[in-house]
Amino acid sequence: MHYESSFKYECGTKYDKYLIECKDILYSSKTKYQDVSIFDTHNWGKVLLLDGLIQSAQFDEHRYHEALVHPAMIAHHNPKNVLIIGGGEGATAREVLKHPSVEHCTMVDIDGQLVEQCEKHLPEWHQGAFEDPRLELVIGDGMQFVLECNDIFDVIIIDVCDSFEDDSPTKGFFTANFVTKVKRILEIKGIVVYQAMSTAACENEKFIEVFKGVDQAFTYTTPYATYIPSFWSEWGFVAASDVFNISTISPVRIDNTLNLRKLPDKLSFFDEVTLLNMISLPKDVRNYLNESMAPLITDYIDCDKVLVATS
């Protein structure tokens, strides 16, 4: 990590570098797994960097975490048992626990030192989620947890760092083989969602690879994206299920579910209009996903009828 006076550099890609003025360095150390830095800035508020790359910024982390969590949680009729792989800041758990139906949420993160520092320095992220009795925090290898787990989950959220490098400990999470292992512990009507990296035209190869890996294992795979200002990019997500096609759930049903769960006042970003925007990927991105992506379905389905039919 490179410091110059009160400035901090971050590589956006191999070829681009962004300069951020830093007010204060709150924490900087190397854990067993990664370089961790938390610093305060003028425009973004607090920022978390892992191995020199921005993972989360106070100004817009709600956009990322609400986009990651709520499409799957709203699509499921009654999510009670949820698994999060990664999510060290606690914000993914924060969003999951906003749903009153949730009885148990298991969060598995390999880096206990990271979680400890996030709990200490980033209370704006977790907002007390680590103290919620419904949350079970497991410090351990997420891949090993999935392989050994015998529990069944309604929603599984894969929120691990975005690296496909050969020596990266997270590369295996994005393979089709691992997706099948995830499906083994997913309830038959369950939903899995991945953070799937940038959809930008110049660097969307990882997004396409995640989509393909997930799409091989599930009947319905929905790619979607939203702009995250601190990432300087449209950021992709992939949700999949054998029962629910998130792209065909009606805005009316989403609105009704949000109101039934008393969520509108608790969300700053996500609602039925936001979801319509996120699943409406531009033509070039849809082309990049190639012919394996199913045609866009415009007729809305009645998920309650699906549930009856599959019961």
Q: Which residues are catalytic?
A: 159
Burial of 226 from C-beta contacts in 10 A (0-12 / 13-18 / 19+): buried
Task: Compute the distance between CA of residue 98 and CA of residue 274 in angstroms, rounded to an integer.
Answer: 18
One DSSP character per residue, 118-135 reads HHHH-HHHHTTGGG-TTE
Strand partners, 29: 36
Say if residues 225 and 204 touch (Cβ distance below 8 Å).
no
Task: Compute the distance between CA of residue 21 and CA of residue 26 in angstroms, rounded to an integer.
Answer: 14
Task: Compute the distance between CA of residue 284 and CA of residue 83 in angstroms, rounded to an integer.
Answer: 33
156 CB contacts (<8 Å, ≥6 apart)?
82, 83, 85, 182, 185, 186, 190, 191, 192, 193
Say if residues 152 and 116 touch (Cβ distance below 8 Å).
no
